[in-house]
Amino acid sequence: MSKRFMITAGGTGGHIFPAQGLAQELIKKTYSSSILFVAGGLSTNKYFDRSIFPFQEVSASPLFSKNPFKLLKGVFNLLRGVWQSIRIIRKFKPDVVVGFGSYYTVPPLLAAKILRIPIVLHEANSIPGKANKWLASMAWRVGIHFPFTATLLKGNTIEVGMPLREGYQLDQIDKIEALSYFGLSKNNSTLLVFGGSQGALAINRLMRNLANTWKNTPIQIIHITGSIQEADELKIFYANYQVKASVKAFEKNMHLAWRAAEVFISRSGASTIAEAMEFEVPGILIPYPHATDHHQDKNADFFVDIVKGGIKIVEEKAKPEIVLKSIQLLIDPIALDKRKSAIHSYKCRPDRTTLCELVLDTSELKSLHKAPQKRK
């Protein structure tokens, strides 16, 4: 029997990308099922692929504001968005509604609750956002990426990792082809460097200070700078120090960068850690110090202390000599194999489930008129 899934996600790529990854996996596993995205801002969201996924817009505004006018606007748009979502749900008739956080998702999820449609939430970060924290108790299940998150949510939490987009799977990409894409050699160790959407400048500055150390070493670099100006400057910088490097301002094929890399240096966003785990790449994490609730520190702690996949360096201590020593520790063949093996073991543990499996199981329970039992 065909299933119908409504997905609500908005805002940043950290919400949109895993939502699209789930949609692709649901389509692959349930060929005749229907997917509909519903949220605010989808028509203009740069991360959402409107050419692939059907969607409908609903009204939404930030709800948590000290400004009385913004608060009033938020309440008005919430009520309007809930009414719009109720009409969409009654027409689409979803078996399950899946939410990925941000205020854009609140109206559809409240509408689902009103109409008694099962809700599954996904929280990507170690410290949950306000929307998911508020809505967790209404959900049948809450999929979490980090074990620590369970202590901060009231819902029925289950560790499911992070859904990744099509193509972001280790066994689908040839390493030689990935290296060739960046013009790099299979005979050298490859260091992937990027700062993400926040804080790339500090990591770019760090790599400038390290440039002289790469000369005459078997290390080659893929560096995603986050800006065209920085990319142009760093290309000249690496060339002056005779460092083999592929430098780009942005890279849409990050799955190829991950496949080419032996080790990485980056911030510790949830998507970064999920992708590092999928491609089994150890790395150095420098948490963005201004992240909300310092969630990047907790994200890094998970990868370092639980997965045993890398080294955490706080930004104030990320001096060139410390980072260089950490890289040398990581690329030591014995240490590298040990960390790659640790990542693989955690990723492939027998009790691991996925968000897709959680959603499909919830749809089956709904058809049997059964609510899920809370896991202990």
Helical axes 320-331 vs 200-214, angle rounded to 10°: 70
Task: Specify whether 214 is located in the same domain as 300.
Answer: yes
Is 125 labeled as ligand-binding? yes
Query: In the 8-state DSSP scheme, what is residue 149?
Result: G
CB 84 within 8 A of CB 59: yes
Both 60 and 149 in one domain: the answer is yes
User: How many domains does the structure of the chain reveal?
Assistant: 2
Q: Could you tell me if residue 296 is inside a domain? A: yes
147 and 175 share a domain? Answer: no
In terms of domains, do 136 and 272 share one?
no
- Identify the CATH number of the domain in which residue 206 sits: 3.40.50.2000
Tell me, yes or no, whether 174 lies in a domain: yes
* Residue 73 sits in the same domain as residue 198: no
Q: Which residues contact 69 (CB under 8 A, 6 or more apart)?
A: none
- DSSP-derived letter for residue 298 is H
The answer to whether position 372 is within a domain reads no
Instruction: Note whether residue 249 is domain-resident.
Output: yes
Q: What is the pTM of this model?
A: 0.89
CB within 8 A of 247, min separation 6: which ones?
221, 223, 225, 231, 234, 235, 238
Q: In this structure, is residue 107 part of a structural domain?
A: yes
- Residue 371 DSSP symbol: P
> Would you give the DSSP letter of residue 104?
G
Q: Do residues 312 and 274 both lie within one domain?
A: yes
pLDDT tens for the 376 residues of the chain, in order = 589 999 999 888 888 999 999 999 999 888 778 999 999 889 999 889 999 999 999 998 887 777 888 888 888 999 999 999 999 999 999 999 999 998 999 999 999 999 999 999 999 999 998 899 999 999 999 999 999 999 999 889 999 989 998 888 888 899 999 999 999 999 999 999 998 755 588 999 999 888 777 777 789 999 999 989 999 999 999 999 899 999 999 998 999 999 999 999 999 999 999 999 999 999 999 999 988 888 999 999 999 999 999 999 999 999 989 999 999 999 999 999 999 999 999 999 888 899 999 999 999 887 766 666 655 4
Q: Is 373 inside any structural domain?
A: no
Q: Are residues 148 and 194 in the same domain?
A: no
Any domain includes 374: no
CB proximity list for 149: less than 8 A, separation 6 or greater: 123, 125, 126, 127, 128, 157
What are the residue ranges of helices labelled H in the chain? 13-29, 68-92, 106-114, 130-135, 175-181, 200-214, 228-240, 254-260, 270-279, 295-301, 320-331, 333-347, 355-367
Say whether 296 counts as a known binding-site residue: yes
- Asked whether residue 21 is domain-assigned, the answer is yes
Do 156 and 287 lie in one domain? The reply is no
User: Is 13 among the annotated ligand-binding positions?
Assistant: yes
165 is in an annotated binding site: yes
The verdict on 200 and 121 lying in the same domain is no
143 and 24 share one domain: yes
Q: Is 117 helix (H, G, I), strand (E, B) or coil?
A: coil
Domain extent at residue 12: 4-163+354-367
Are residues 192 and 328 located together in one domain of the fold? yes
For residues 153 and 248, state if they share a domain: no
